[in-house]
Amino acid sequence: MPIDLRSDTVTRPTPAMLEAMMQARVGDDVFGEDPSINQLERMTAQLFGMEAALYCPTGTMSNQIAIKCHTRPGDEVICEKEAHVYIYEGGGIAFNSGAQVRTIEGDRGRITAGQVSRSINPDDVHKASTSLVCLENTCNRGGGSCYDLEEIKKIRQVCSDNQLQLHLDGARLFNALSATGQQPADYGRLFDSISVCFNKGMGCPIGSVLLGSAAFIRQARRVRKVLGGGMRQAGFMAAAGIYALEHHRERLTEDHAHARQLAEALAKKDFVSAIKPVETNIVIFETTSDICTKDLAQRLKEQDVLAIPISDSQVRFVTHLDITPAMVDRVVEVIEQL
Ligand SMILES: *Cc1c(COP(=O)(O)O)cnc(C)c1O
Protein backbone atom coordinates (compact mmCIF):
# COMPACT_ATOMS: atom_id res chain seq x y z
CA MET A 1 0.00 0.00 0.00
CA PRO A 2 1.41 3.41 -0.91
CA ILE A 3 1.62 6.13 1.73
CA ASP A 4 -1.04 8.48 0.44
CA LEU A 5 -0.34 12.14 1.26
CA ARG A 6 -2.30 13.53 -1.70
CA SER A 7 -5.27 14.67 0.38
CA ASP A 8 -7.04 14.20 3.71
CA THR A 9 -10.06 12.97 1.71
CA VAL A 10 -8.47 9.54 1.04
CA THR A 11 -9.17 8.09 4.51
CA ARG A 12 -11.19 4.91 5.04
CA PRO A 13 -13.58 4.56 7.99
CA THR A 14 -11.94 2.90 10.99
CA PRO A 15 -13.48 -0.37 12.27
CA ALA A 16 -15.07 1.56 15.17
CA MET A 17 -16.53 4.16 12.81
CA LEU A 18 -17.88 1.40 10.55
CA GLU A 19 -19.45 -0.25 13.58
CA ALA A 20 -21.17 3.05 14.51
CA MET A 21 -22.44 3.30 10.93
CA MET A 22 -23.77 -0.27 10.99
CA GLN A 23 -25.68 0.45 14.20
CA ALA A 24 -27.20 3.72 12.93
CA ARG A 25 -30.91 4.30 13.29
CA VAL A 26 -32.17 5.71 9.99
CA GLY A 27 -35.28 7.09 8.32
CA ASP A 28 -36.25 9.21 5.33
CA ASP A 29 -34.41 12.51 5.72
CA VAL A 30 -36.49 14.30 3.06
CA PHE A 31 -39.38 13.71 5.49
CA GLY A 32 -37.08 14.93 8.30
CA GLU A 33 -37.28 11.45 9.82
CA ASP A 34 -33.69 10.27 9.93
CA PRO A 35 -32.74 10.25 13.64
CA SER A 36 -29.00 10.06 12.95
CA ILE A 37 -29.03 13.01 10.56
CA ASN A 38 -31.20 14.99 12.96
CA GLN A 39 -28.77 14.20 15.75
CA LEU A 40 -25.69 15.22 13.74
CA GLU A 41 -27.38 18.47 12.68
CA ARG A 42 -28.35 19.22 16.29
CA MET A 43 -24.90 18.36 17.68
CA THR A 44 -23.06 20.49 15.12
CA ALA A 45 -25.40 23.47 15.53
CA GLN A 46 -25.01 23.27 19.32
CA LEU A 47 -21.24 23.01 19.08
CA PHE A 48 -21.03 26.25 17.08
CA GLY A 49 -23.88 27.94 18.93
CA MET A 50 -25.89 28.34 15.74
CA GLU A 51 -29.65 27.88 15.43
CA ALA A 52 -29.87 25.21 12.78
CA ALA A 53 -27.91 22.88 10.50
CA LEU A 54 -28.28 20.96 7.25
CA TYR A 55 -26.48 17.74 6.35
CA CYS A 56 -25.15 17.76 2.78
CA PRO A 57 -23.28 15.16 0.74
CA THR A 58 -20.25 17.41 0.06
CA GLY A 59 -18.60 20.60 1.16
CA THR A 60 -19.03 21.93 -2.35
CA MET A 61 -22.81 21.54 -2.06
CA SER A 62 -22.87 23.22 1.37
CA ASN A 63 -20.90 26.19 0.03
CA GLN A 64 -22.95 26.48 -3.13
CA ILE A 65 -26.25 26.32 -1.23
CA ALA A 66 -25.01 29.06 1.11
CA ILE A 67 -23.96 31.28 -1.80
CA LYS A 68 -27.31 30.70 -3.52
CA CYS A 69 -29.22 31.67 -0.36
CA HIS A 70 -27.13 34.78 0.28
CA THR A 71 -27.17 36.27 -3.24
CA ARG A 72 -29.39 37.21 -6.19
CA PRO A 73 -28.37 36.82 -9.86
CA GLY A 74 -26.04 39.64 -10.90
CA ASP A 75 -24.67 40.15 -7.38
CA GLU A 76 -20.98 40.19 -6.61
CA VAL A 77 -19.27 37.83 -4.14
CA ILE A 78 -15.96 38.82 -2.53
CA CYS A 79 -13.38 36.09 -1.87
CA GLU A 80 -9.65 35.39 -2.01
CA LYS A 81 -8.24 34.70 -5.48
CA GLU A 82 -7.50 31.04 -4.71
CA ALA A 83 -10.61 30.36 -2.63
CA HIS A 84 -12.09 26.88 -3.06
CA VAL A 85 -15.53 28.39 -3.80
CA TYR A 86 -13.98 30.23 -6.75
CA ILE A 87 -11.32 27.93 -8.25
CA TYR A 88 -12.42 24.41 -7.27
CA GLU A 89 -16.22 24.35 -7.46
CA GLY A 90 -16.63 24.16 -11.24
CA GLY A 91 -17.74 27.73 -11.72
CA GLY A 92 -20.62 26.99 -9.38
CA ILE A 93 -21.05 30.60 -8.25
CA ALA A 94 -21.96 31.52 -11.85
CA PHE A 95 -23.73 28.23 -12.63
CA ASN A 96 -25.91 27.98 -9.53
CA SER A 97 -26.32 31.58 -8.40
CA GLY A 98 -25.71 33.69 -11.53
CA ALA A 99 -23.40 35.82 -9.42
CA GLN A 100 -19.95 37.14 -10.26
CA VAL A 101 -16.82 37.18 -8.15
CA ARG A 102 -14.45 39.93 -6.98
CA THR A 103 -11.17 38.31 -6.01
CA ILE A 104 -8.65 39.64 -3.53
CA GLU A 105 -4.99 38.65 -3.28
CA GLY A 106 -4.56 37.53 0.31
CA ASP A 107 -1.70 36.47 2.55
CA ARG A 108 -1.62 32.67 2.25
CA GLY A 109 -5.33 32.75 1.46
CA ARG A 110 -6.34 35.16 4.20
CA ILE A 111 -7.86 38.52 3.36
CA THR A 112 -8.16 41.59 5.59
CA ALA A 113 -11.03 43.84 6.62
CA GLY A 114 -9.34 46.74 4.77
CA GLN A 115 -9.22 44.73 1.55
CA VAL A 116 -12.87 43.71 1.91
CA SER A 117 -13.86 47.30 2.59
CA ARG A 118 -12.07 48.53 -0.56
CA SER A 119 -13.72 45.83 -2.71
CA ILE A 120 -17.33 46.72 -1.98
CA ASN A 121 -19.04 48.33 -4.95
CA PRO A 122 -20.72 51.71 -4.49
CA ASP A 123 -24.48 52.00 -4.95
CA ASP A 124 -24.23 52.80 -8.66
CA VAL A 125 -26.30 51.36 -11.53
CA HIS A 126 -23.10 50.52 -13.43
CA LYS A 127 -21.88 48.23 -10.67
CA ALA A 128 -22.83 44.78 -9.52
CA SER A 129 -24.40 44.77 -6.10
CA THR A 130 -21.94 43.35 -3.55
CA SER A 131 -23.85 41.06 -1.23
CA LEU A 132 -21.57 38.38 0.19
CA VAL A 133 -18.07 37.81 1.54
CA CYS A 134 -16.69 34.25 1.67
CA LEU A 135 -13.73 33.38 3.90
CA GLU A 136 -11.91 30.04 4.02
CA ASN A 137 -10.38 28.58 7.22
CA THR A 138 -8.01 26.82 7.09
CA CYS A 139 -6.96 28.07 3.66
CA ASN A 140 -6.28 25.12 1.41
CA ARG A 141 -4.06 26.86 -1.18
CA GLY A 142 -2.53 28.91 1.62
CA GLY A 143 -0.99 25.72 3.01
CA GLY A 144 -3.51 25.16 5.80
CA SER A 145 -3.10 28.67 7.22
CA CYS A 146 -5.41 29.86 10.00
CA TYR A 147 -7.22 33.16 10.43
CA ASP A 148 -6.64 35.43 13.39
CA LEU A 149 -10.02 35.83 15.10
CA GLU A 150 -9.41 39.56 15.56
CA GLU A 151 -9.23 40.04 11.77
CA ILE A 152 -12.46 38.09 11.30
CA LYS A 153 -14.15 40.35 13.86
CA LYS A 154 -13.07 43.38 11.82
CA ILE A 155 -14.35 41.75 8.61
CA ARG A 156 -17.65 41.03 10.41
CA GLN A 157 -17.91 44.71 11.28
CA VAL A 158 -17.31 45.77 7.67
CA CYS A 159 -19.99 43.30 6.54
CA SER A 160 -22.50 44.52 9.12
CA ASP A 161 -21.81 48.18 8.25
CA ASN A 162 -22.45 47.44 4.55
CA GLN A 163 -25.34 44.94 4.76
CA LEU A 164 -23.16 42.10 3.45
CA GLN A 165 -23.58 38.47 4.43
CA LEU A 166 -20.52 36.59 5.70
CA HIS A 167 -20.01 32.90 4.87
CA LEU A 168 -17.20 30.66 6.08
CA ASP A 169 -15.93 27.76 3.99
CA GLY A 170 -14.82 25.75 7.01
CA ALA A 171 -13.97 22.52 5.21
CA ARG A 172 -10.98 22.30 7.59
CA LEU A 173 -12.34 24.47 10.40
CA PHE A 174 -11.80 21.63 12.91
CA ASN A 175 -8.08 21.73 12.03
CA ALA A 176 -8.02 25.50 12.61
CA LEU A 177 -9.80 25.16 15.97
CA SER A 178 -7.39 22.44 17.04
CA ALA A 179 -4.30 24.43 16.01
CA THR A 180 -5.32 27.79 17.46
CA GLY A 181 -7.39 26.90 20.52
CA GLN A 182 -10.17 29.15 19.20
CA GLN A 183 -13.69 28.09 20.22
CA PRO A 184 -16.42 26.93 17.80
CA ALA A 185 -18.85 29.44 19.36
CA ASP A 186 -16.47 32.30 18.39
CA TYR A 187 -17.22 31.36 14.79
CA GLY A 188 -20.93 30.82 15.32
CA ARG A 189 -21.20 34.38 16.61
CA LEU A 190 -19.36 35.97 13.69
CA PHE A 191 -20.69 34.26 10.57
CA ASP A 192 -24.11 34.19 8.91
CA SER A 193 -23.32 30.70 7.65
CA ILE A 194 -20.57 28.11 8.05
CA SER A 195 -19.87 24.89 6.16
CA VAL A 196 -17.79 22.20 7.86
CA CYS A 197 -16.57 19.01 6.19
CA PHE A 198 -16.66 15.56 7.71
CA ASN A 199 -14.93 13.94 4.72
CA LYS A 200 -11.54 15.57 5.40
CA GLY A 201 -9.65 15.53 8.70
CA MET A 202 -12.65 14.03 10.50
CA GLY A 203 -12.15 10.83 8.51
CA CYS A 204 -15.74 10.16 7.32
CA PRO A 205 -16.50 8.69 3.90
CA ILE A 206 -18.76 11.60 2.93
CA GLY A 207 -20.61 14.53 4.41
CA SER A 208 -20.63 18.19 5.26
CA VAL A 209 -22.84 20.28 7.53
CA LEU A 210 -24.07 23.78 6.71
CA LEU A 211 -24.87 26.00 9.71
CA GLY A 212 -26.91 29.18 10.05
CA SER A 213 -30.08 30.72 11.42
CA ALA A 214 -33.32 28.72 11.41
CA ALA A 215 -34.70 30.88 8.56
CA PHE A 216 -31.50 30.48 6.51
CA ILE A 217 -31.47 26.70 6.95
CA ARG A 218 -35.16 26.46 5.95
CA GLN A 219 -34.25 28.16 2.67
CA ALA A 220 -31.07 26.06 2.36
CA ARG A 221 -33.10 22.85 2.73
CA ARG A 222 -35.15 23.90 -0.31
CA VAL A 223 -32.04 24.64 -2.37
CA ARG A 224 -30.47 21.31 -1.34
CA LYS A 225 -33.55 19.54 -2.72
CA VAL A 226 -33.38 21.51 -5.98
CA LEU A 227 -29.71 20.52 -6.39
CA GLY A 228 -30.65 16.86 -5.89
CA GLY A 229 -29.03 16.68 -2.47
CA GLY A 230 -32.11 15.57 -0.51
CA MET A 231 -30.99 12.11 0.55
CA ARG A 232 -33.10 9.43 2.16
CA GLN A 233 -31.57 6.97 4.70
CA ALA A 234 -28.24 8.79 4.76
CA GLY A 235 -28.13 8.41 8.54
CA PHE A 236 -25.59 5.63 7.99
CA MET A 237 -23.25 8.38 6.81
CA ALA A 238 -24.33 10.88 9.46
CA ALA A 239 -23.54 8.25 12.12
CA ALA A 240 -19.92 8.42 10.93
CA GLY A 241 -20.05 12.17 11.50
CA ILE A 242 -21.40 11.75 15.04
CA TYR A 243 -18.66 9.23 15.73
CA ALA A 244 -16.04 11.64 14.35
CA LEU A 245 -17.27 14.58 16.47
CA GLU A 246 -16.86 12.38 19.53
CA HIS A 247 -13.61 10.63 18.65
CA HIS A 248 -11.64 12.32 15.87
CA ARG A 249 -11.38 15.96 16.89
CA GLU A 250 -8.67 15.64 19.54
CA ARG A 251 -6.41 13.53 17.38
CA LEU A 252 -6.03 16.28 14.75
CA THR A 253 -3.00 17.49 16.73
CA GLU A 254 -1.25 14.27 15.63
CA ASP A 255 -1.80 15.14 11.96
CA HIS A 256 -0.40 18.60 12.62
CA ALA A 257 2.70 17.19 14.34
CA HIS A 258 3.20 14.81 11.39
CA ALA A 259 3.02 17.72 8.95
CA ARG A 260 5.68 19.62 10.93
CA GLN A 261 7.92 16.53 10.88
CA LEU A 262 7.67 16.34 7.08
CA ALA A 263 8.40 20.07 6.77
CA GLU A 264 11.52 19.72 8.93
CA ALA A 265 12.83 16.97 6.65
CA LEU A 266 12.08 19.05 3.55
CA ALA A 267 13.78 22.12 5.00
CA LYS A 268 17.14 20.29 4.87
CA LYS A 269 16.92 19.60 1.12
CA ASP A 270 18.64 21.73 -1.51
CA PHE A 271 15.85 21.23 -4.05
CA VAL A 272 13.36 22.89 -1.70
CA SER A 273 13.51 26.67 -2.05
CA ALA A 274 10.69 27.56 0.36
CA ILE A 275 8.07 25.93 2.58
CA LYS A 276 4.86 27.67 3.55
CA PRO A 277 4.64 27.92 7.35
CA VAL A 278 3.01 24.70 8.59
CA GLU A 279 0.10 25.58 10.87
CA THR A 280 -2.08 22.50 10.44
CA ASN A 281 -2.05 19.31 8.33
CA ILE A 282 -0.93 20.71 4.97
CA VAL A 283 2.66 21.13 3.76
CA ILE A 284 3.20 23.11 0.55
CA PHE A 285 6.77 23.49 -0.62
CA GLU A 286 8.36 25.38 -3.45
CA THR A 287 11.03 23.65 -5.54
CA THR A 288 14.11 25.20 -7.13
CA SER A 289 13.74 26.12 -10.81
CA ASP A 290 15.72 23.08 -12.06
CA ILE A 291 13.10 20.71 -10.60
CA CYS A 292 9.98 19.58 -12.44
CA THR A 293 7.35 18.98 -9.76
CA LYS A 294 5.63 16.26 -11.83
CA ASP A 295 8.95 14.37 -12.01
CA LEU A 296 9.44 14.83 -8.28
CA ALA A 297 5.97 13.41 -7.57
CA GLN A 298 6.83 10.49 -9.89
CA ARG A 299 10.09 9.81 -8.01
CA LEU A 300 8.16 9.84 -4.73
CA LYS A 301 5.61 7.47 -6.23
CA GLU A 302 8.36 5.03 -7.13
CA GLN A 303 9.11 4.97 -3.39
CA ASP A 304 5.40 4.38 -2.63
CA VAL A 305 4.80 7.93 -1.44
CA LEU A 306 1.93 9.83 -3.10
CA ALA A 307 1.87 13.64 -3.25
CA ILE A 308 0.24 16.21 -5.53
CA PRO A 309 2.24 18.69 -7.63
CA ILE A 310 -0.20 21.60 -7.22
CA SER A 311 1.69 23.83 -9.67
CA ASP A 312 4.86 23.82 -11.78
CA SER A 313 6.85 24.83 -8.71
CA GLN A 314 4.83 23.56 -5.75
CA VAL A 315 4.17 20.14 -4.22
CA ARG A 316 1.64 19.41 -1.48
CA PHE A 317 1.62 16.82 1.31
CA VAL A 318 -1.50 16.40 3.47
CA THR A 319 -1.48 14.33 6.67
CA HIS A 320 -4.59 12.58 7.96
CA LEU A 321 -6.16 9.78 10.00
CA ASP A 322 -4.66 6.96 7.90
CA ILE A 323 -1.08 8.25 8.23
CA THR A 324 0.70 6.53 11.12
CA PRO A 325 3.89 7.69 12.90
CA ALA A 326 5.76 4.83 11.19
CA MET A 327 4.63 6.07 7.79
CA VAL A 328 5.85 9.58 8.58
CA ASP A 329 9.24 8.14 9.59
CA ARG A 330 9.36 6.26 6.29
CA VAL A 331 8.49 9.40 4.26
CA VAL A 332 11.20 11.33 6.11
CA GLU A 333 13.68 8.60 5.04
CA VAL A 334 12.50 8.84 1.43
CA ILE A 335 12.86 12.64 1.50
CA GLU A 336 16.38 12.34 2.94
CA GLN A 337 17.37 10.06 0.06
CA LEU A 338 15.92 12.23 -2.71
C1 LIG B 1 -12.39 19.99 0.20
C2 LIG B 1 -12.83 21.37 0.32
C3 LIG B 1 -14.17 21.74 0.13
C4 LIG B 1 -15.29 20.79 -0.22
O5 LIG B 1 -14.93 19.66 -0.87
P6 LIG B 1 -15.92 18.44 -1.16
O7 LIG B 1 -15.00 17.48 -1.77
O8 LIG B 1 -16.96 18.95 -2.09
O9 LIG B 1 -16.50 17.97 0.14
C10 LIG B 1 -14.49 23.06 0.30
N11 LIG B 1 -13.56 23.96 0.64
C12 LIG B 1 -12.28 23.65 0.85
C13 LIG B 1 -11.32 24.70 1.28
C14 LIG B 1 -11.86 22.35 0.69
O15 LIG B 1 -10.58 22.05 0.88
- Give the residue from 247, 263, 286 where a domain finishes: 247
Pocket test for ligand 1, best of 9, 87, 140 (most atoms within 8 A of CB): 140
Q: Is residue 9 part of a domain?
A: no
Pocket test for ligand 1, best of 8, 84, 135, 237 (most atoms within 8 A of CB): 84
Distance from C-alpha of 29 to C-alpha of 308, rounded to nearest angstrom = 37
In this structure, the answer to whether residues 56 and 178 fall within a common structural domain is: yes
In this structure, the answer to whether residues 236 and 101 fall within a common structural domain is: yes
In this structure, the answer to whether residues 219 and 272 fall within a common structural domain is: no
Cα–ligand 1 centroid distance for 214 (angstroms): 24
Task: Give percent of the chain with pLDDT exceeding 70.
Answer: 100
Residue range of the domain that includes 299 = 251-337
In this structure, the answer to whether residues 76 and 214 fall within a common structural domain is: yes
Residue nearest (by alpha carbon) to ligand 1 atom 3: 59
8 Å CB contact between 235 and 25: yes
- Give the residue from 247, 276, 306 where a domain finishes: 247
Residues 131-141 have pLDDT tens digits of 999 999 999 99
Residues 162-204 have pLDDT tens digits of 999 999 999 999 999 999 999 999 999 999 999 999 999 999 9
Residues 243-265 have pLDDT tens digits of 999 999 999 999 999 999 999 99
Q: What is the pLDDT of residue 279?
A: 98
In this structure, the answer to whether residues 238 and 256 fall within a common structural domain is: no
Show the ligand 1 pocket: residues with CB < 6 angstroms.
58-60, 63, 84, 136, 140, 169, 171, 197, 199-200, 208
In this structure, the answer to whether residues 237 and 266 fall within a common structural domain is: no
Domain tally, the chain: 2
Q: Is residue 8 part of a domain?
A: no
Q: What is the pLDDT of residue 78?
A: 99
Q: Is residue 3 part of a domain?
A: no
In this structure, the answer to whether residues 25 and 84 fall within a common structural domain is: yes
Residues 34-49 have pLDDT tens digits of 999 999 999 999 999 9
In this structure, the answer to whether residues 209 and 269 fall within a common structural domain is: no
In this structure, the answer to whether residues 187 and 41 fall within a common structural domain is: yes
Task: Give percent of the chain with pLDDT exceeding 90.
Answer: 100
Q: What is the pLDDT of residue 8?
A: 98
Cα–ligand 1 centroid distance for 253 (angstroms): 20
Q: Is residue 324 part of a domain?
A: yes
b/e for 107-127, b at 16 or more Cβ within 10 A? Answer: ebbbbbbebbeebbbeeeeee
Q: Is residue 7 part of a domain?
A: no
Residue nearest (by alpha carbon) to ligand 1 atom 14: 171
Across 111-118, average pLDDT: 98
109: left (phi over 0), alpha (psi -120 to 50) or beta: left
Q: What is the pLDDT of residue 224?
A: 98
- Give the residue from 247, 271, 305 where a domain finishes: 247
Say which CATH number the domain at 71 has.
Answer: 3.40.640.10
Distance from C-alpha of 277 to C-alpha of 84, rounded to nearest angstrom = 20
The dihedral sign for the CA sequence 48, 50, 51, 52: negative
Residue nearest (by alpha carbon) to ligand 1 atom 2: 171
Cα–ligand 1 centroid distance for 200 (angstroms): 8
Q: What is the pLDDT of residue 201?
A: 97
In this structure, the answer to whether residues 261 and 207 fall within a common structural domain is: no
Q: What is the pLDDT of residue 55?
A: 98
Say which CATH number the domain at 299 has.
Answer: 3.90.1150.10
8 Å CB contact between 335 and 3: no
Q: What is the pTM of this model?
A: 0.97
Across 274-289, average pLDDT: 97
8 Å CB contact between 33 and 194: no
Cα–ligand 1 centroid distance for 85 (angstroms): 8
Q: Is residue 2 part of a domain?
A: no
In this structure, the answer to whether residues 94 and 150 fall within a common structural domain is: yes
Distance from C-alpha of 35 to C-alpha of 25, rounded to nearest angstrom = 6
In this structure, the answer to whether residues 83 and 208 fall within a common structural domain is: yes
Q: Is residue 94 part of a domain?
A: yes
Q: What is the pLDDT of residue 244?
A: 98
Q: Is residue 272 part of a domain?
A: yes
Residue nearest (by alpha carbon) to ligand 1 atom 5: 59
